[in-house]
Amino acid sequence: EYMGKRRRKRPGKSAGFTAAAAAAAALRLSRSRPAAQRADTLGSGSIMASMQKRLQKELLALQNDPPAGMTLNEKSVQNSITQWIVDMEGASGTLYEGEKFQLLFKFSSRYPFDSPQVVFTGENIPVHPHVYSNGHICLSILTEDWSPALSVQSVCLSIISMLSSCKEKRRPPDNSFYVRTCNKNPKKTKWWYHDDTC
């Protein structure tokens, strides 16, 4: 359930730079960049390398052993490893049997410490109590319950489970208001997770 937009937190003080010149350079850079970029200023090279290594490992796992009903859209990763599309088919015996959907994953340079941005995309957005008509998903592991131990496959399995356990196709009660007022990035939404069922 939507509880309004998240307040942006002030970036914390930089750590790790002790030389005066480095500190001055970081200060000048921080004043000229948005908060999200400021957070990545220090150690960006090692962070980026770690992210790419992790994504390459997960990409290979998703290609070789995808969850049932999930397939990596190979074209989506040809130009960038930080944005994937996963094709999904509703599980047999569920309300979504045979229906085809697409999930868009976007990864920041701080992945896996920062959760991926995940939304349904394309022409067919599943009608579900936890899925808004713009593709945003109310699922706790995408925000507050995210852990670096989780993965793309973990997210896919959670979404499959969420759809498969649905008993009635309907939109969230606040769908119209949310779609009109929300941020394009669902991670900036303040969600209220009040149940684990449909």
Give the residue among 93, 137, 97, 145 at the shortest CA–CA distance from 117. 137
Between CA 155 and CA 159 the distance in angstroms is 6
Q: Is 138 a catalytic residue?
A: yes
Q: Which of 138, 156, 182, 198 is catalytic?
A: 138
Between CA 141 and CA 152 the distance in angstroms is 11
81 burial level (CB within 10 Å; 0-12, 13-18, 19+): middle
Give the residue among 32, 54, 51 at the shortest CA–CA distance from 41. 32
Distance of CA 32 to the CA centre of its chain: 27
Active site residues: 138
